Structures are given as C-alpha cells and as structure tokens.
Chain A
C-alpha cells in the first residue's frame, strides 16, 4: 500500500479500507501492487513516473447499496473515488484516475442486463455490462434489435456513453450519450437519484422519455464528476432487414464542398448510416510534384495530377439500412441528389445483403472497390481486433505503441471547413515542430457524430516509448491543443493528463462554463470525493492539484 490518497494518513486509510471490506467483502477490496496494477493506464504518458496516476486501491461493489456505502465512507475519510465501468477507455486514461491515490470504484461486478425491449427498442443495463455482453444477450434470445458499438467492443454502454463515445450505424444511435434514455445515479451524498421519467415512482416510460419535467441534469454525468451512474437506458435500433453500400467518387478537390452538402442532406433525412470519407490521392503522396502542389495548396495542379493518375480526389462510401427495396431506393436517390450537386460524380454499387449478415460476410469484404469500413461495427457487432492499429508492424517495427493518445478536434460539417482544417493543422504541425513533409490534403473527416465532423489533429501512431520521448510528446500535444484553440478547434475527449488543458480552452466569457461547473461541483460534492479533476472540474478540496500534471 505504497500510495495514499492526498491528505490522508496511512492509519486513517487503513481504517477506511477495513470499512470498505465490511461493505463488499475482503475479496473485493484490492490494495496490493499486483491487484492495483490492472488499474494503471497501459498507455499513460507518465507511466512509471513519480506522478503517474496510480490508484491507492480499488473496490468492487455488486449492487447499488454498496456503492452508496462506499460513497459515504469516502466522505467520512475524505478519500477521492474514481468510478469505472469496465475500465477499457484506452487512449483516454483507461481505468486510471485523475488524482494519484484515488480509490477506484470498479463497477464490473454490476453486470446485469436489466431489460431489452425489441418492440419499444431500448435496453437497460448496469455499468459492468460490456457491448459484447449486451450483444450476446440479444443474440442468445433472438431479439430483433441492434446495438451501436464502439471499436473495440469491450467497453460498456454506460462508460462509453458517459465519455461521449461514438459508434458507426445510423446517426441517432452513433451518439451514445445522445441515445441514452434515463439513468440512475448515486450522488456524492450517497442518495440515489433517477433522471427523466425515472423520477416519477411507477413510471411506465422511464426509458422512452428522458426529459421528465423541469431541468434535466443528465448531461452533468457525461464527462462529469457529479455522481456514479448505476443504471442507464439506451435507445436501440430495430434490426433492419437489409444492408446495402455504394461508393461515390468525385474528381476534383473542390468537389468535396458539394459532396459533403449532399451527404449531409441524406444523413439528416435519416437515409444513410455513417458515411466513410476518404481520398485515393494518398497513393500519390510520394510523388514530388504532388508534394509540391500539396504544399502550395494548388488545387488546379492537384486536380491535374489526380486526372493524370486516373484517381478521384475524394470518395465516400455510403450505407443504407432498411429493406431490399428501401435501401435500393435510398441508393438511387443518393445518386440523384449527389449528381445534382456534382454532375461529374461517379457511382459504384457496393454490397447488398439480407440481415443479419453471416460471419463470413462480416469478415470478408466483397465490394468491387477498396472499402475503408470495418464491417462488424457497421452491423453493430462488437469486436476486439482493432488493436492492430497499435501493434508493431512493418511500418512500426520496433515497439508496441504505448503512446496511444488521440486528439480529435471538432470541425464544421462542410467541405470548406475540412479544407481549412487541413491548412490549419499543417501550419500547427510546423509551429510545434512535427516532422511533416506536406499538408494532410487527403485527410478526411470522420462523421461519428451525425451533426459534426472530427478530424485527427495529433495522434502518435508510432511514438517514442521512452520517458523522455513521452514527455516531449506530451508537450507537443499541449502545444497542438493551444494552437488548435486559437483557430477555433476544440477537442471532444481527452485523457486525464490533458483534461485541464482541454477544459481551459472552453473559456468563453472568462471561463464562465468552467466556473459554473465548479460551483455546482462544490455545492453537490462539498468534500470533492467523486472523481476530482475529471474534465478539469476541480472541487475546492483538491483545487491545488489543478494543472499539476503540466509540471
């Protein structure tokens, strides 16, 4: 028990641990180095440093009443807690807390699927239910609903949605927090609160109408530290009968503007699932003429090089969920809408399958073009295979990539905004000293959130795993965040080590949003015991730690 919570004596901590044992049983309080090890962040940029965010202990309740007791004990002994569901939020801190020495409240034992309704299309789960668990529950019972899973799928719907995670099917469901409907929360006082219609005893529509009556505080629990969520409802997509894809290609760089307008239109009519944008011009990235044209953002030259190589400048793969007939009609209509905007657009039929797809259909892409889609996630099938992105490969032969932190900035949902971001991110890369040879003129947005684009603005795909390398990378990431913010780009999500930095940038009107959140925090959680520092929200009791990870 080498690490203690800040300001807590060894004697007091030992007493608190003993009290926790009486609540959950000896087997479910973890204090040895070996037992605490899994609660460290595998990808921490400060791994094995004196300030690494290692918890002092972990406790595993199996019911709401135990969570309440844990919170009361933490209040009594002034011990910071950090709650996790499955703790698989890698790249964003994993299971590790914002404050070194916190006690992790590991909710994996609360793993009941409480309800899945395939007529009204919702599920209610506890925090320890993973996407894989929920998928299996649905499959084993033959229920006709789909989940919308992140990739990988070992996280939980509650944890992922509370960190504003995303998926890959239809727009409404891809926003996992947006698709939640009703939650139960243990407040810092130890009381249990239900949001929306759950506040009405005997309500018949808790997981159908999430607003209830009056202000809805549910948003406070997303990326927040105002309570421990112990149940949550989610809207589910009815299982479609058919799935179809098609590829759209446009020849010129400037065509991206009209293409995105058309796809936005189709998306907001609810006709398409996640569109997957790309640029085949990446194939020219070693061509010196192309590099020179890219550096000059010379659209005419880029267009002529694309034409000479017989490559389209942009493409987007569309997907349609419905019946065989409606998906065909949807694809036909998409071609009509896009042709009106970009007469030179070309279309290639993709795949057309009855749902559910067979395992072979999920594994083998048979589209007559190179598809960027990871098929399982477009079908709501959770997987664990995506870790190929961090493993050592021919391109990254020396090290498993420990520096797995991604910065994704919100970008306006237009072609103009995307091309401006390409220029801005190139300029920023040069300012912060990244070894870039040319602008990312082929970089495309992801449309995880239906109504917003995200673009990678800093991702150490093959980083330096040494402490010095990580420290340097962290400084670079902070500089990127600063420069991004100067240009109006903000991150949507961050690991603990960068949360103060990101929070600082949401500074409109002298940081009034931040001050508002901390005013609430101090009122609701006067001892500051719940996840202090999360999202940059520091209660008075721990305010001295604000920004401490920058040192």
Chain B
C-alpha cells in the first residue's frame, strides 16, 4: 500500500510509464480514498501510452484508445458510462484531449485530481498523465 505522498510523487501520475508497476496501478489506494481506475484513456500514437495501456489492461482496467482527438469515442463509449455514475478515470493523452476530457467530466460530477506533463519525446504535443476522480458527494 502506498501513502498519498508516494502516490502523488512517484506513482501513477508523476512517474514515467516504464517505472509503473501493476501493484501501483491496481492498488486500491484506500488510504487516500481513491479506488482503482475503471477506465484508462490513452493516445495510442505514443509508445509510452501503449506500454502503460498494456499494464492497465492486465490489471483489468477497461482501455479506450484515441488518436489525438477524443471525439470518436465520446458518444459511443465514454458518455454512456459517465451517465451511469462518476468514476475514476486514468489517462495518458495530449493536453488538448485532457482539456476536453476534464471539461466534459465536470458535467458528470468528476474533477481532475492530478495531471503531469511528460517530457516531449517526438511529435509536437507532449503527453500528460492524469487522473479524474468523482467530486465529493453532496451534503444536505
């Protein structure tokens, strides 16, 4: 079990894909109140994202691949899931896809918990690792 600090500084959000391990990704991280991701959205044009997707897939996380633009998967795949309930979603995408995702997520009572820009490795847009989480339940 990792603690919050470790999670934030060395875990899913801030580490490079090659340092990630299944236990980190699959860990309930109950001590910080964040359950496992239910979805992993990644930009399949990038090797780092594909590598991380393999790990996430092996951990039982539903994978959703995009190629830069989030549009093709929004209506058919993601929106129906988010209409059911807010959920934890991890991702590795470009910044513009993240912007679209976090903006849409806000309509479904979710928020960006953390994001980290990765070093630019080829291409003109850097990748981001990020995590969307449900907003706090409403109080009376």
| The residue from B75, B96, B126, B139 contacting A388, defined by CB atoms under 8 A apart | B96
Which residues of B sit under 8 angstroms from A37, Cβ to Cβ? 106, 111
Is A269 among interface residues, defined by CB-CB distance under 8 A? no
Whether the pair B96, A390 counts as a contact (CB closer than 8 A) is: yes
| The residue from B70, B107, B124 contacting A384, defined by CB atoms under 8 A apart | B70
Is A194 among interface residues, defined by CB-CB distance under 8 A? no
| Min C-beta distance of B120 to chain A, whole Å | 8
Chain B residue nearest in CB terms to A38: B106
Whether the pair A385, B68 counts as a contact (CB closer than 8 A) is: yes
Is A393 among interface residues, defined by CB-CB distance under 8 A? yes
Whether the pair A387, B135 counts as a contact (CB closer than 8 A) is: no
| The residue from A384, A390, A393 contacting B69, defined by CB atoms under 8 A apart | A384
| Min C-beta distance of B34 to chain A, whole Å | 15
List residues 21-52 of chain A with CB under 8 A from any CB of chain B: 26-27, 30, 32, 34-35, 37-38, 42
Which residues of B sit under 8 angstroms from A384, Cβ to Cβ? 69-71, 74, 100
Whether the pair A392, B125 counts as a contact (CB closer than 8 A) is: yes
What are 21 A-to-B residue pairs whose CB atoms are below 8 Å? A26-B138, A26-B140, A32-B139, A34-B136, A37-B106, A38-B107, A42-B103, A86-B107, A88-B103, A108-B107, A152-B100, A153-B71, A154-B100, A154-B103, A384-B74, A385-B68, A388-B68, A390-B96, A391-B96, A391-B99, A393-B125
Which residues of A sit under 8 angstroms from B15, Cβ to Cβ? none
Q: CA separation between A389 and B88, bound complex, in Å?
A: 28
Which residues of B sit under 8 angstroms from A459, Cβ to Cβ? none
| The residue from A26, A27, A38, A400 contacting B95, defined by CB atoms under 8 A apart | A400
Classify chain B: how many residues form its interface, as a range: 20 to 34
Q: CA separation between A171 and B79, bound complex, in Å?
A: 32
How many residues in A have their beta carbons less than 8 Å from beta carbons of B? 31
Q: CA separation between A34 and B110, bound complex, in Å?
A: 10
Whether the pair A385, B71 counts as a contact (CB closer than 8 A) is: yes
Is B104 among interface residues, defined by CB-CB distance under 8 A? yes
Whether the pair B111, A385 counts as a contact (CB closer than 8 A) is: no
List residues 258-299 of chain A with CB under 8 A from any CB of chain B: none
Is A229 among interface residues, defined by CB-CB distance under 8 A? no
Whether the pair B74, A132 counts as a contact (CB closer than 8 A) is: yes
Which residues of A sit under 8 angstroms from B94, Cβ to Cβ? 391
**Known A154-B104, A385-B68; contact A400-B99, beta-carbon cutoff 8 A:** yes
Chain A residue nearest in CB terms to B136: A34
Which residues of A sit under 8 angstroms from B124, Cβ to Cβ? 393-394
